[in-house]
C-alpha cells in the first residue's frame, strides 16, 4: 500500500509528519504500524534511523525520496556523522538503506549525550509566526540537536514540549496543536543579553553542522591544538592547562548551560570531552564537543601563562596525566585545614578519615588514589582519632 504522507516543510522533523498521520487517520496498533514501516523504534527517528527503505518505498508516489534522502533531510543524522570516522559514517548510511546490522543505533557512533532526548523542543516564536501565516506548527530538527537551547533564527530560548520522542502519539489533531500551546519551562533559564547571545551562536553553529558532510569534523586535533596554543592554554611541552581552560569555559558558557548539556559530570566541565578532541583517545568525540570548542575558540579569550607548571594536564601522545606530587601537596593543605576546623567545633566531633575528607570538600575519588598521595595518607593515619582519644578530647573541652 502507498502511504499518503503530506509533503514535509523545510527543516521539519520526520516525527511530526508521522504524528499527524497517526492522529488524523486514527491508526489502530500504532506501535506495530510504525515498526513495520520504519523497522526501528520511534525515538530513533530523531538522531539515527535504522532503516528507512520501506518508508521510502511506501511514500515514493508522494515524496520521491530515497531512504538516504529522508535521513539527511528529515532527521538529525547528518549532524552526528559529521564527527564520526569515514568508515562509521558509511556504515550509518548503509543501515539507513539496508536496515539494521551489527551496529546498534547510536552506540557505536558515540553521539554523546543529548539533553532532554525524552521530549521534543520547539521555539514559541516560530510556532506563532506559522500560525499567523495559516500554516500548521511542526517540530524542527535543528531544535532537537544536542546543545541547542535557543532558536538560530529568533535567538529565543527553546521550550521543552510534553511530547515524548519515543511515543509519537496524540489522540487527535487538537491534542497535537495543544502540544505547541503548552510546554514546560525553557531549556536554560538565561535572560541576560550576553548569555542569550552565547546560546544563539551555539544554535547557529549546530545548524551549520547539520548540513556538514560526513566525517568533516573527524580528526582535526592539530587545528584545535594550534589555536589553543596561540591563546596560552597549552604549555611549552604541549600539555593542556586544564584548570585554566575549565574556568574559562565555565565563565564563557555558564554553569547552567553546561549542566543542561549533560556532557560532563559535576566539576568536570571539560575533562570528559576535551581530551578526545586534542589527544590520543579510544573514544570518538561527539559533534557537540566540536561545536563547544569551536565556539569557545571563536572568542578572544586568552590565558596569560605565569608559570610553566600545570597542576593537571593532558600530555600529547598519552592519556590523562596528573602531577601527583603537586596534587599531594595541595590536598594535604586542605586536609590539615579541615582537621583544624573539626577540632575547633562545638560540640566536639570525632576526627575520622571520612569527616576530614568531607569537611575539606576534596573530590570523593581521593581515597581511591592514596597510593599516589603518600603525604595525605600519612596525615590521615596520624590525625584520625580512636574512640578513646575522642572521648578524652571531648572531656577536656567540656
Q: In the block, which residue shows the cell 584548570? A: 243
Q: Mean pLDDT: which of 31-40, 255-264, 318-327 is highest?
A: 255-264
Angstrom distance (rounded) from CA 308 to CA 321? 15
Residue 194 lies in a domain: no
Q: Give the pLDDT of residue 310.
A: 39
More confident residue, 184 or 277: 277
**pLDDT tens, residue by residue, 275-322:** 778 876 677 788 999 999 999 999 877 766 544 343 444 444 433 446
What are the C-alpha distances in Å from 185 to residues 118, 193, 203, 283, 397?
Answer: 15, 19, 18, 34, 52
Q: Give the pLDDT of residue 85.
A: 87
Angstrom distance (rounded) from CA 370 to CA 364? 12
Q: Give the pLDDT of residue 324.
A: 79
Identify the bridge partners of residue 121 per DSSP, sorted by sequence position: 160
Do residues 175 and 66 share a domain?
yes
How would you classify residue 39: left for phi > 0, otherwise alpha for psi between -120 and 50, otherwise beta? left
CA angle 279/47/189 to nearest 5° reads 80
The DSSP code sequence of 251-292 is: HHH-HHHHHHHTSS-TT-TTTTTHHHHHS--SSPPPHHHHHH
Residue 202 lies in a domain: no
Angstrom distance (rounded) from CA 302 to CA 231? 5
Do residues 312 and 366 share a domain?
no
SS3 content of the chain, % helix, strand, coil (to 5): 50, 5, 45
Angstrom distance (rounded) from CA 291 to CA 285? 11
Do residues 31 and 175 share a domain?
yes
Mean pLDDT of the chain: 81
Residue among 140, 146, 87 nearest 290 (CA): 146
Do residues 298 and 245 share a domain?
yes
**pLDDT tens, residue by residue, 345-367:** 888 899 999 899 888 877 766 77
Residue 366 lies in a domain: yes
**pLDDT tens, residue by residue, 194-227:** 888 999 999 999 999 999 999 899 888 889 999 9
What are the C-alpha distances in Å from 7 to residues 19, 54, 221?
Answer: 14, 17, 41
pTM, full prediction: 0.71
Q: Give the pLDDT of residue 316.
A: 40
Q: Give the pLDDT of residue 311.
A: 40
Do residues 317 and 356 share a domain?
no
pLDDT grade, residue 149 (50/70/90)? very high
Structural domains counted in the chain: 3
Q: Long-range contacts: 307-313, Cβ < 8 Å, 24+?
A: 308/235, 308/236, 310/235, 310/239, 310/240, 310/241, 310/242, 310/243, 311/242, 311/243, 312/242, 312/243, 313/235, 313/239, 313/240, 313/241, 313/242
Contact 187, 160 (CB under 8 A): yes
Do residues 306 and 333 share a domain?
no
Do residues 22 and 114 share a domain?
yes
Residue 250 lies in a domain: yes
pLDDT at 154 over 60: yes
More confident residue, 98 or 230: 230
Q: Which of 298, 322, 346 is the last residue of a domain?
A: 322
- How many other CB atoms are found less than 10 A from the CB of residue 279? 20
Q: Give the pLDDT of residue 205.
A: 95
Do residues 243 and 356 share a domain?
no
Residue 306 lies in a domain: yes
Angstrom distance (rounded) from CA 71 to CA 64? 13
Q: Give the pLDDT of residue 297.
A: 93
Angstrom distance (rounded) from CA 283 to CA 225? 18
pLDDT at 116 over 60: no
Residue 190 lies in a domain: no
Residue among 285, 9, 352 nearest 17 (CA): 9
Angstrom distance (rounded) from CA 78 to CA 183? 27
Do residues 56 and 102 share a domain?
yes
Do residues 294 and 343 share a domain?
no
Q: Which of 322, 337, 371 is the last residue of a domain?
A: 322
Q: What range does the domain containing 108 cover?
A: 14-181
Residue 26 lies in a domain: yes
Q: Which of 322, 344, 373 is the last residue of a domain?
A: 322
Identify the bridge partners of residue 287 per DSSP, sorted by sequence position: none
**pLDDT tens, residue by residue, 15-48:** 888 888 888 887 777 777 777 777 655 656 677 6
Mean pLDDT (whole number) for 107-114? 43
Q: Give the pLDDT of residue 304.
A: 61
Mean pLDDT (whole number) for 44-53? 73
Q: In the block, which residue shows the cell 521534543? A: 120
- Reply yes or no: is the peptide bond before residue 155 cis, omega within 30 of 0: no
Residue 288 lies in a domain: yes
Amino acid at each position: 500500500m502507498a502511504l499518503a504522507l503530506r509533503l514535509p516543510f523545510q527543516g521539519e522533523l520526520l516525527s511530526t509528519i508521522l504524528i499527524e498521520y497517526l492522529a488524523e487517520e486514527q491508526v489502530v496498533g500504532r506501535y506495530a504500524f510504525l515498526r513495520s514501516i520504519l523497522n526501528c523504534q520511534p525515538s530513533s527517528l530523531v538522531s539515527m534511523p535504522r532503516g528507512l527503505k520501506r518508508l521510502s518505498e511506501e511514500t515514493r508516489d508522494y515524496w520521491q525520496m530515497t531512504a538516504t534522502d529522508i535521513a539527511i533531510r528529515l532527521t538529525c543524522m547528518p549532524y552526528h556523522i559529521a564527527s564520526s570516522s569515514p568508515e562509521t559514517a558509511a556504515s550509518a548510511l548503509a543501515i539507513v538503506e539496508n536496515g539494521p546490522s551489527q551496529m546498534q543505533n547510536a552506540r557505536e557512533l558515540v553521539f554523546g549525550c543529548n539533553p532532554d532526548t525524552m521530549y521534543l523542543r520547539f521555539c514559541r516564536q516560530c510556532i506563532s509566526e506559522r500560525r499567523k501565516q495559516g500554516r500548521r506548527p511542526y517540530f524542527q530538527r535543528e531544535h532537537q540537536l544536542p546543545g541547542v537551547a535557543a532558536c538560530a533564527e529568533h535567538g529565543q530560548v527553546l521550550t521543552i514540549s510534553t511530547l515524548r520522542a519515543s511515543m509519537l502519539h496524540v489522540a487527535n489533531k487538537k491534542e497535537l496543536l495543544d502540544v505547541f500551546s503548552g510546554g514546560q519551562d525553557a531549556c536554560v533559564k538565561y535572560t541576560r543579553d550576553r548569555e542569550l547571545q552565547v546560546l544563539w551562536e551555539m544554535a547557529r553553529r549546530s545548524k551549520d553542522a547539520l548540513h556538514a558532510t560526513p566525517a568533516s569534523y573527524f580528526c582535526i586535533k592539530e587545528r584545535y591544538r594550534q589555536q589553543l596554543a596561540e591563546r596560552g592554554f597549552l604549555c611549552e611541552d604541549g600539555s593542556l592547562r586544564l584548570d585554566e581552560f575549565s574556568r574559562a569555559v565555565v565563565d564563557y558558557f555558564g554553569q547552567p548551560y553546561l549542566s543542561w548539556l549533560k556532557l560532563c559530570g559535576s566539576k568536570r566541565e571539560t575533562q570528559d570531552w576535551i581530551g578526545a578532541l586534542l589527544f590520543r583517545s579510544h573514544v570518538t568525540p561527539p559533534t557537540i564537543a566540536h561545536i563547544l570548542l569551536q565556539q569557545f575558540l571563536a572568542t578572544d579569550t586568552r590565558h596569560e601563562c605565569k608559570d610553566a607548571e600545570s597542576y593537571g594536564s593532558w600530555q600529547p601522545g598519552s592519556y590523562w596525566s596528573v602531577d601527583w606530587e603537586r596534587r599531594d601537596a595541595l590536598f594535604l593543605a586542605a586536609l590539615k585545614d579541615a582537621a583544624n576546623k573539626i577540632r575547633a567545633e562545638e560540640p566536639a566531633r570525632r576526627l575520622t578519615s571520612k569527616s576530614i575528607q568531607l569537611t575539606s570538600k576534596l573530590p570523593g575519588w581521593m581515597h581511591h588514589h592514596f597510593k599516589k598521595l603518600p603525604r595525605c595518607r600519612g596525615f590521615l593515619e596520624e590525625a584520625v582519632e580512636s574512640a578513646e582519644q575522642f572521648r578524652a578530647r571531648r572531656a577536656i573541652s567540656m
